[in-house]
Each structure stands twice: as structure tokens, then as C-alpha cells.
Structure 1
Amino acid sequence: MLHKIFLRILLWGSTMLAVGLLLSTYLSHLNPGKYWITGFSGFFFPLLFPICLLLIPVLWWYKRKEQLLLCSIAVLCCIPAALVTWGVHIFSKNNIVKQPNSREFTLMTYNTSSMGLMAYKTDKDKEAAIYKVVSKNSPDILCMQEFYSNDKPDKEHHIDSLMQRGQYSYHFFTCDKTQWDTWFYGIALFSRYPIAAAAVIPCGESKVGSGSSFLQADLVLQGDTIRIFSVHLTSYMFKGEDYDNMKAPGGGGLVYKMRSTFQKRSAQALQLAALVAESPYPAIVCGDFNDTPVSFTYKTVSRNLQDVFLETGSGWGRTLSFLSPSLRIDYVLTQPSFRIHGSQVFPTHPSDHFPVMACLSLKKH
């Protein structure tokens, strides 16, 4: 009796999982700005793919031919999505240390969650962790999203502190939001290379500041000019009451907020992809996309670009410290004119996001 129940569960369960895997992969090709429900699809892929893969030998053992065929087809059809979810360079050389007397440079992207500021008080442990990882790895170019600095004498002037500690001669700050005249929020870029030009490109509205614009900067490296886009795409910005009001009508519901976020983020992705395509200089895109590799956002922005983690990394490449070990939402993407020598994600604790650093160089013409 129990054996029959198990086989029935295996039959229906494997069928539903295989169909779910296919939907999670291919619905993400649709623009959630038009079909908002598709915005949820990619979240489930990192769980469904390994389960379906593990089910294949079980189905073969129990001689469930139809389900075996369905699961096998689903897994094969979803291999391209798996290859943008997991890094497979387990044994290859991955070096983020610059070679002396070379044209290599390093770039780090880091969502700092307002430099540890919460409820207008700085978490000193988080703040110290940020400075420690930056000082230890000393990137030539440092891009920070959800950045905060304060001009008040008794507060944290992070712009000056980072320029001094990191030995950065140049910086640019979008300053998307100002509070009480001295509290500044936005996206910051610090560089040891000259900034030839920089611009704040509006991309929406955000109450927290970062997420209202893209930072665009042209840097001069050894006679060549490159363009960097540092971005923080719209996040859900959930609060405790959002979970309590999940079933609330109209704008109070959690699902409504997610739907609105999907629409805003898909529009930002299309805008960013167009800016990268129009760049007169070799371009790098970095920042917090707030979306997984199996998503419309990632597919749109990364088209014709190289993902530094996929080119050199292995495993999950997790960049968010909570919710799930599979969440890779912070990226460094480059146009093919760049050579990727290595990349690394630094599990920084305590920190909401983990920084991503890459060692790059421009290919010789």
C-alpha cells in the first residue's frame, strides 16, 4: 500500500516539477512589465533544476519511462539557464591580483546598505566590515550603491574617508537624495584613474535615493577611455507591514508592490541596455540588479556582455547574505573588448550584500 502511494507521489510530483522547471526558465524571457506574473518565475529555478536532476536516476530505477523522459527533456532544455546560474570553472586559474607592469586594473562593486546606517544610526560592525574588505583588496575602481555620507562634523563623512584610506584621487557621487542638508544618499564611484566625464542619468524614483539614477563615468586608463555604469535597479523595499498586509486590496498588498517593482525594473533594464549599446567607449556595467540570472532583467542587460563570475568563478556566486544561498543579484558585466583575468565574491560579515571584484584589462587593438 505504501509502495503504491509512493509511486503515485513520484509520478505526479516528478511531472509537476518538470513542468515547473520549464515554466521557471522560459517564462523569464517575457517582459514582466507587460506580463507581471512572469517576474516570479526565475526565483524557483535554482531549486527546481537540481531536484529534477536528482529525480532522473530515481525514475530510471523505478522504470517510470514517461516521467523519466519528461524530466530528462526538461533538464536538457534548461541547461542554458543552469550555465548562467552556476559557475563551472572549478579547476581553472582565477586571479584577481594585478600583474606588475601590466595594463590590468581591478574593479569592485558593493551595495553598502547605506554604509551600515539604519534608523539614522550607524551599525559600527557593518561599517568596519565595509572598510576592511575595501582596504584589504584595494580595488583601483570602487563602485558603491546605496551609499551614504554626511557633512555634519560629528557624523560619518564616508566620501573623504574612502578617498583617503583607498588612496583615490577621483570620485563621483550621484547624490540622489538629501536629508537635513547634510545627509546624502546615492551611488558613488571612487577611482585612481582620471574621470574625464560623468553624468547622473535619471531612471525612476526611489524614496531611499539610490535607485533613482544610473551613474555613468568615463575613465582614462593608460591613454584609453572606458565607460562605467554603476546601477542599483529598483528593489522591493519590503517592510514589516507589507507582510501583514499581503491580502490587502489596492496599493497595500505585498503582491501589488512586487508587481509595481517588476514593471519599474524591466523598464530600467531596457533603458540600461540601450545606454550600453550606444556607448562610444568600451563599457562595464556593475551593481545591484535586484534580480536573479534567470530573469528578464539579467537577460536584457547582459545581452552581448561577459559576466565576470561566469567567465572565471564556480558555484553559486552568492551576493546576498540572507533569504537563500542561491541569490546572486550583484554583477560585473563587460563588453567583449575587455579581457577577464579573474573575479571573486567576498563573503563579508556582517553585511547584507557581498562585494564582487574583478581583474580586467582592455584587449589590445
Structure 2
Amino acid sequence: MKKLNLFDKGIYVINSIFACLLLVSYALPYVFPRSFPSVSVLSLLVPVLLIINAMFSLFWLIRLKKQVFMSVVVLLIGYNHLTNFYKFPRKQEALMESSLLSVMTYNVRLFNVYDWNPDKQLDDKMIAFIKDKSPDILAIQEFHKLQERKLDFYPFRYIGYKTDKNKIGQAIFSKYPILATGQLDFPKTGNNGIYADILVAKDTVRVYNMHLESLHVNPEEEELSQENSMRLIERIGNRFALQQTQMELFRRHWEGTNYKTIVCGDLNNTAFSNIYLKIKGKKLQDTFQEAGSGFGRTFNFPYFPFRIDFILPDTSFEVKTHEVYPLDYSDHFPVFSSLSLKVDK
């Protein structure tokens, strides 16, 4: 740093801090939230750290300084994180519609039943969008009982309410016959996971619809003073610990089936977390990684591209397309993917 002026030295120190934080974040998928809840919160900041380190790399590159290598090397070490964060567009191949299975996952925020948005027609707009895209299988999180009749264009459905008195639950709609259904029964929460065994051609496909523990963070309302920030980190960390319990319930349940599987849902966590890593494992694919492009943002957060909604088919499927529709109907965007079953040889 001898050849750097005082300003550059200050920038380099700040750069070093963010490079170290990004390096630490690479270990987060292997850190159990229940054991280190506050540390696990850093997984939410990985998109921010990637962007900041990329900006530092560009800064030093423009100035033709060798300090560029620090952030570049750190970014290259986390190459898998980069591909989880951004995908370059790939050439689209011609698709045979008859051989595809289309899947959509969508957190609809109760179809605006509590008027969080002043648009009184928002629920009808969401239903019209779903009808227009017409996915073969539709997984909805935060479904409200009032909308059951409006989705009667699907011949088969399973809506999981935690109790008979609940009006809020998760739902799976299908154009194919549903053979069996059930719930995962997440304890001490209104969130839940459900599943449906669906007969697709001659195959039975198990579809999970997961809505893991919500973070209950409104960036527009949170007061981020030092004291409140520490409370916020503690609160999010505790919710990540609950997500670990929910993830473990899912893993035990899934390991009991031999069916081809598609996992959909709002994980309320990023692709840089232990929760995502343990759910996906080695047997599931991420449709964004296989066929997505851009940042793949699924949560309507105004500052950074958070991807917390996923379609994860197992390796018996080939992922053909992945698309996110940036609609402002909910605080989440609908995610759509076209899959084809691989032919057994």
C-alpha cells in the first residue's frame, strides 16, 4: 500500500472488510442456524456483498491498481455463489409443448384480502394472470379461503389449512389427477408445508409446496438504529432456527418416498443459506441455475435482488425454461418453469 495515497488507502481498508465478510459468507451454507442464529443472518446480505465487491473490483480496475486482485480473487473463490446470484441468458431451444410439464409457484399475499394495496381488483388480476399462464401445476403460498371458487378452472386441488377454523393456508392446483395429499405440520407457526401425489401420464409425481417461517420484516417500517438493528438480527436469527426445524421435517418426510419430486415454495431464505442447501441437497435442481437469466429476483424488495422463491425438481426432470414475472400484485413475484421427464434407458 506504499504507492497508494491516503484516500486510496482508506478505500482499500473498507474493501478488505467487505472482502472478508464475503469470504465468511461462503461458509454459511454449512452453518446450522439453530447453533449460530445471528451469524446465519449474514446469508441475507450475500447479494449485497457480491455487488459491493464487484464495485470495488471495477473501481481498482479503472484506476489500474493491483488491489483489484483482492475482490476478484474473493469473487472467483465463490464462483458457485455468483452463479446462484446472476445467470447470463442462454440460447432458447425449440420446445415441444406436448412433452412439457409447466409449474408455477406464487406467494399471493392472501390475494390482498386485507387491502395492503389500494387496488380493489388486485385479486382478480392475479387470478387472470394465473389463468393466462395456465401452468399444469400451481403452488400457492398464503392462499385465502375466499378465492377457492375463483380457481375452479383447475379440476384438481388440495388446500391445506392447519385447522378447520383457519382461512389461510397453502394450496396445490393441478390439471392432472391428485392421488394423495397431506401436510407436514410445522409446529408453533402459521406457516406450513403440504404435498400432493399427482398422476402425470404414467408417473406419480410428488409435489411439495413449502412456506417456511416468515421473517416478518418490513424494510419501510423498521427503524435501523444500532439497538434496533441488534434486535432485528436476533429476531431474524431465531426465525432461521425455526426454518431449520421445518427443513428437517421436510427432509425426513421426503426421504420416505420413491416418487419423482418437485419442491416449490417460498423458503424465506436465499440460495446462500444452510436451509436452501439442505433442502436442495444433491438430488434436486434449481430451475434458475439450470435455465434462468439475470438476477432472478422473486421478492419485491426495492434495493437488492433477493431470490427466495424456488422451483426445485429432482434429477429425473430436465429443466427447459425458468421465468420470473415482475408483477406488483404481491410482495413476491410468480416463478414459472417448464420441465420434461427424462426417458429411462
Q: TM-score, normalised by structure 1?
A: 0.84
Residue matched to 2:136: 140
Moved more, 105-114 or 323-332: 323-332
Secondary structure of the residue aligned to 1:17 is helix
Residue matched to 1:168: 154
CA-atom RMSD in angstroms? 2.7
1:85-234 matches, cutoff 5 A: 85-88=85-88, 90-93=89-92, 99-100=96-97, 102-118=98-114, 124-150=120-146, 158-163=147-152, 167-177=153-163, 179=165, 184-206=167-189, 209=190, 211=191, 213-234=192-213
Residues matched between the structures, number: 338
Cα 1:238–1:63 change in 2 (3 A) is closer
Moved more, 293-302 or 41-50: 41-50
Q: Is the 8 A contact 2:184 2:250 kept in 1?
A: no
Secondary structure of the residue aligned to 1:124 is coil
> Deviations 1:191-211 (Å, cap 9, x if unpaired)?
1111110011112232xx3x1
Residue 267 (str. 1) matches residue 245 (str. 2):
yes
Matched to 1:99, the amino acid is M
Residue matched to 1:27: 28
Matched to 1:363, the amino acid is K
Cα 1:230–1:142 change in 2 (3 A) is same
1:225 Cα deviation from its structure 2 partner = 0.4
1:60 Cα deviation from its structure 2 partner = 5.6
1:221 Cα deviation from its structure 2 partner = 0.7
Secondary structure of the residue aligned to 1:290 is coil
1:50 Cα deviation from its structure 2 partner = 3.2
Residue matched to 1:293: 271
Q: Is the 8 A contact 1:193 1:220 kept in 2?
A: yes
Q: Is the 8 A contact 1:214 1:230 kept in 2?
A: yes
Structure 1 runs not aligned, ≥5 long: 151-157
- Aligned equivalents of 1:314, 1:171: Cα separation in 2: 31
- Aligned equivalents of 1:120, 1:321: Cα separation in 2: 14
Residue 45 (str. 1) matches residue 46 (str. 2):
yes
> Deviations 1:36-74 (Å, cap 9, x if unpaired)?
122221222212223323433544666755x44432331
Percent of aligned positions with the same letter in both sequences?
27
Matched to 2:336, the amino acid is M
- Aligned equivalents of 2:250, 2:235: Cα separation in 1: 22
Residue 348 (str. 1) matches residue 327 (str. 2):
yes
Secondary structure of the residue aligned to 2:103 is strand
- Aligned equivalents of 1:49, 1:344: Cα separation in 2: 23
- Aligned equivalents of 2:286, 2:274: Cα separation in 1: 16
1:246-325 matches, cutoff 5 A: 247=227, 253-304=231-282, 305-325=284-304
Secondary structure of the residue aligned to 2:187 is coil
Residue matched to 2:10: 9
> Deviations 1:113-144 (Å, cap 9, x if unpaired)?
11111279995232123112101101111111
- Aligned equivalents of 1:227, 1:313: Cα separation in 2: 23
> Deviations 1:206-243 (Å, cap 9, x if unpaired)?
2xx3x1x2111100011110101001000122479875
- Aligned equivalents of 1:128, 1:94: Cα separation in 2: 33
- Aligned equivalents of 1:127, 1:103: Cα separation in 2: 31
Cα 1:103–1:10 change in 2 (3 A) is same
Secondary structure of the residue aligned to 1:48 is helix
- Aligned equivalents of 1:346, 1:257: Cα separation in 2: 30
- Aligned equivalents of 2:225, 2:16: Cα separation in 1: 34
Residue matched to 2:81: 81
Matched to 1:91, the amino acid is R
